[in-house]
């Protein structure tokens, strides 16, 4: 099969002919149709995440069809359209797995990081971690649901019972989550990098009550804030905009250093937390929401061979919404 291969930290991906994945008895072989490109792929390429295997096939927002399955598989039939997210296996027996926190499993395997992912014509996954995708989304627009959508949904849950919420950064995840938040009746305030007028206009077009620069203050204090941009100093900006008892949630897997700040910003029972991965239940719950609240996904399609171009477009903020590789 053809695949875009990452041979080492900082290197551009190269198109190679490689062997197809060999499935085990509890795995399905998936013919990849599309695969979303995520900022996490950029963090892996840059070496910010330290445990990647090399050579590696990136990609953890896989949409495809079941091509073959192992002897112990029973959930899917050949030809079923499915999705594969970041979390693709856990041990099932550690303290985290047995307490509904499998996203924290120490032995977890992540697609496109510790296992080859979807920047290829085929990939594989344990059948228990494969997700069914609503029929109302085509292949290109379904792919971003599998990470940007899922992680945004988990971040919103961790934000608690917020009525006013701030989004810091407005990329793939935020542009989907704002639609769910608005449907739930939340007031959403969007903060972008200073001077990003197109991004702010995009946010307003999707229902933001207000959109402005990341160092600005909204007209009212916020119940919660979600950080999508991987910039540690945004924690401080968000804390300044919170009500007493407010919460800041970081949705990113990697972030620059958080600068020192005075305790008064955190006082009055404000909290800071992070999202780590996702659970299978997150996937099930989110896809039900995606059925009932049609999410308009802004997707920018690139052919598989243009994976480097897609990654750099994300790095430099050249696209609104999501980047998706088309394989078939």
> What does the pLDDT profile of the chain (328 residues) look like in tens digits?
999 999 999 999 999 999 999 999 999 999 999 999 999 999 999 999 999 999 999 999 999 999 999 999 999 999 999 999 999 999 999 999 999 999 999 999 999 999 999 999 999 999 999 999 999 999 999 999 999 999 999 999 999 999 999 999 999 999 999 999 999 999 999 999 999 999 999 999 999 999 999 999 998 999 999 999 999 999 999 999 999 999 999 999 999 999 999 999 999 999 999 999 999 999 999 999 999 998 999 999 999 999 999 999 999 988 888 999 999 8
Residue 320: the pLDDT is 87
Q: Provide Rg for the chain, Cα atoms.
A: 19
Q: What's the distance, CA 8 to chain centroid?
A: 23
Locus of tokens 């407010």: 246
| CA-wise closest residue to 282 among 158, 119, 176 | 158
Q: Which domains does the chain have, with CATH numbers?
A: 2-146+277-326 (3.90.180.10), 150-274 (3.40.50.720)
Output the pTM of the full model: 0.93
Find the length of the chain. 328
Between CA 36 and CA 64 the distance in angstroms is 12
| CA-wise closest residue to 148 among 301, 36, 238, 30 | 36
Residue 328: the pLDDT is 81
- Cβ–Cβ < 8 Å for 51, 80: no
Locus of tokens 């998706």: 324
Between CA 61 and CA 318 the distance in angstroms is 20
Q: What's the distance, CA 242 to chain centroid?
A: 25
Between CA 235 and CA 277 the distance in angstroms is 20
Q: Which strand (E) or helix (H) includes residue 310?
A: helix 307-315
What is the three-class DSSP state of 307? helix
Residue 317: the pLDDT is 87
Phi, psi dihedrals of residue 112, rounded to the nearest 5°: 70, 20
Between CA 177 and CA 119 the distance in angstroms is 25
- Cβ–Cβ < 8 Å for 223, 165: yes
Tokens for 16? 């190679």
Residue 90: the pLDDT is 98
| CA-wise closest residue to 249 among 161, 164, 159 | 159
Between CA 31 and CA 33 the distance in angstroms is 6
- Burial class of residue 17, CB neighbours in 10 A (0-12, 13-18, 19+): exposed
How many helices (H) and strands (E) would you count in the chain?
8, 17
Phi, psi dihedrals of residue 39, rounded to the nearest 5°: -60, -25
């Amino acid at each position: 099969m053809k695949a875009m291969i990452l041979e080492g930290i900082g290197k551009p991906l190269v198109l190679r002919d490689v062997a197809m994945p060999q499935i085990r008895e509890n795995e399905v072989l998936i013919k990849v149709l599309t695969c979303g490109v995520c900022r996490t792929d950029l963090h892996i390429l840059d070496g910010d995440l330290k445990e990647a295997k090399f050579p590696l096939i990136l990609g953890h927002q896989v949409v495809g069809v079941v091509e073959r399955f192992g002897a112990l598989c029973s959930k899917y039939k050949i030809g079923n359209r499915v999705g594969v997210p970041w979390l693709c296996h856990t041990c099932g027996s550690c303290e985290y797995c047995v307490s509904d926190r499998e996203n924290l499993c120490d032995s977890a395997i992540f697609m496109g990081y510790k296992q080859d992912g979807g920047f290829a014509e085929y990939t594989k996954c344990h059948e228990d971690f494969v997700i069914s995708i609503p029929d109302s989304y085509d292949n290109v627009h379904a792919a971003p649901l599998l990470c940007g959508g899922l992680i945004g949904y988990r971040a919103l849950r961790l934000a608690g019972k917020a009525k006013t919420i701030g989004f810091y950064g407005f990329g793939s995840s935020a542009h989907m989550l704002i639609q769910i938040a608005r449907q739930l009746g939340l007031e959403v305030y969007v903060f972008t990098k200073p001077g990003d007028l197109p991004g702010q206009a995009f946010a307003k077009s999707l229902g933001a009550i207000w959109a402005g620069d990341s160092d600005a203050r909204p007209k009212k204090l916020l119940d919660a804030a979600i950080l999508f941009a991987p910039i540690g100093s945004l924690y401080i900006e968000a804390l300044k905009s919170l009500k007493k008892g407010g919460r800041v949630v970081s949705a990113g897997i990697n972030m620059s250093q958080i600068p020192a700040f005075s305790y008064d910003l955190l006082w009055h029972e404000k909290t800071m937390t992070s999202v780590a991965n996702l659970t299978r239940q997150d996937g099930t719950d989110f896809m039900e929401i995606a059925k009932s609240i049609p999410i308009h996904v802004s997707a920018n399609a690139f052919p598989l061979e243009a994976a480097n171009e897609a990654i750099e477009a994300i790095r430099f903020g050249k696209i609104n919404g999501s980047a998706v590789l088309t394989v078939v």
